[in-house]
């Protein structure tokens, strides 16, 4: 009964009659945890339990460990290199570097950019405490200046594509509480930013227009237009009037890549 209860706790009763060596990595992990639970421990220690799991089984295991901790009044100690997963699973976290604890506490309190960047000695990427993951910084290896007009999370994937391919990117005009602004700042892109909830100022509009004049390509997305960002629409119109190579992003990175290649060639 103890074994059956342990297997039921990890949703693995259907695996009890299955050969262990015929199981997937995710199934084996469940059985190993069930085996430990059958001993009715007060503390469960797991070393890199998600190392060989695909995304689906990582999520399942994360939910399972949270459930076991709550329902069984069980303390679970997990070692992880997956910092994004650790942020989502842990009640408390210890960040360890060179055999010493550099930060300890609630993940939401200690997972700051400076701390995490230092933990991994990052030079080519930045951690974002808002996003909860890393963004690459642009190596700027392509001799092409691009101005991106976006907003409301319509530009994040474009920024990632442009940055990893080495383009020099300027973004604007973004309100500072826009997720596109946060992503771009994490990448250390040049951004023309406006204060939240304020209409785009004439000063920022003119600054953006001057930047566009020195750019080779202007890309714009299908961002929502309202009273506070209507000058971005005017930026698009002026870009066309300046005979810039203007690309409307239609939702396909492959399509964007083809248009960029035509221009650069």
Model pLDDT, residue 208: 96
Alpha carbons 156 and 182: distance in angstroms, whole number: 9
What stretch of H or E contains 189? Answer: none
- Coil, helix or strand for 144? coil
Q: Using omega within 30 degrees of 0 as the cis cutoff, is the peptide bond preceding 34 cis? A: no
CATH 3.40.50.300 matches 2-91:
yes
Note the pLDDT of residue 62.
Answer: 82
Pull the structure tokens for residue 216. 């080779």
Query: Residue 106 CB: number of other CB atoms within 10 A?
Result: 11
CA atoms within 13 A on the CB side of 39: 8
**DSSP 8-class letter at 220:** E
- Average pLDDT of 138-145? 83
Residues of the chain with pLDDT > 70, as a percent, come to 98
List pLDDT tens digits, range 31-78. 877 787 777 788 888 888 777 777 887 888 788 888 888 888 889 998
> Taking residues 131-160, what's their average pLDDT?
90
55 vs 166, residue with greater confidence: 166
Q: What is the mean pLDDT of residues 14-21?
A: 79
The whole-angstrom separation of Cα 115 and Cα 127 is 9
Concatenated DSSP letters of 152-166 = TTSSHHHHHHHHHTT
Nearest to 50 by CA among 36, 38, 37, 63: 63
Read off the DSSP letter of residue 222: -
pLDDT at residue 1 greater than cutoff 90 = no
- pLDDT tops 70 at residue 2: no
**What's the confidence (pLDDT) of residue 265?**
61
Look at residue 193 in the predicted model and tell me its pLDDT. Answer: 96
Average confidence score pLDDT of the chain: 88
Q: What is the pTM of this model?
A: 0.80
Average pLDDT over residues 183-202: 95
pLDDT at 22: 79
**H or E element at residue 186:** helix 179-186
Burial class, 92, CB count within 10 angstroms (exposed 0-12 / middle 13-18 / buried 19+): exposed
CATH of 136-264, picked from 3.40.640.10, 3.30.70.100, 3.40.50.1820, 3.40.50.720, is 3.40.50.720
Residues of the chain with CATH 3.40.50.720: 136-264
Span 164-186, mean pLDDT? Answer: 94
First to last CA, the chain: 71
- Which pLDDT belongs to residue 61? 79
Numbered ranges of CATH 3.40.50.300 in the chain: 2-91
């Amino acid at each position: 009964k103890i074994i059956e209860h342990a297997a039921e706790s990890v949703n693995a009763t259907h695996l009890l009659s299955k050969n262990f060596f015929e199981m997937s990595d995710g199934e084996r992990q469940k059985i190993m945890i069930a085996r430990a639970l059958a001993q009715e421990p007060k503390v469960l220690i797991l070393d890199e339990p998600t190392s060989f799991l695909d995304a689906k089984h990582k999520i399942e295991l994360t939910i399972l460990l949270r459930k076991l901790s709550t329902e069984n009044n069980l303390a679970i100690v997990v070692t992880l290199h997956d910092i994004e997963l650790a942020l989502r699973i842990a009640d408390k976290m210890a960040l360890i570097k060179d055999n010493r604890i550099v930060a300890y506490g609630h993940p939401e309190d200690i997972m700051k950019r400076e701390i995490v960047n230092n933990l991994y000695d990052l030079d080519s990427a930045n951690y974002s405490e808002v996003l909860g993951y890393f963004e690459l910084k642009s190596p700027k290896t392509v001799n092409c200046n691009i101005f991106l007009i976006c907003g409301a999370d319509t530009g994040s994937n474009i920024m990632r594509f442009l940055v990893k391919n080495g383009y020099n990117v300027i973004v604007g005009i973004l309100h500072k509480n826009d997720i596109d602004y946060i992503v771009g700042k994490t990448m250390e892109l040049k951004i023309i930013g406006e204060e939240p909830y304020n209409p785009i100022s004439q000063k920022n509009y003119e600054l953006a227009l001057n930047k566009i004049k020195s750019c080779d390509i202007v890309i714009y997305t299908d961002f929502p237009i309202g009273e506070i960002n209507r000058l971005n629409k005017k930026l698009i119109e002026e870009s066309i009037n300046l005979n810039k190579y203007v690309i409307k992003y239609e939702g396909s990175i492959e399509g964007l890549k083809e248009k960029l290649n035509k221009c650069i060639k």
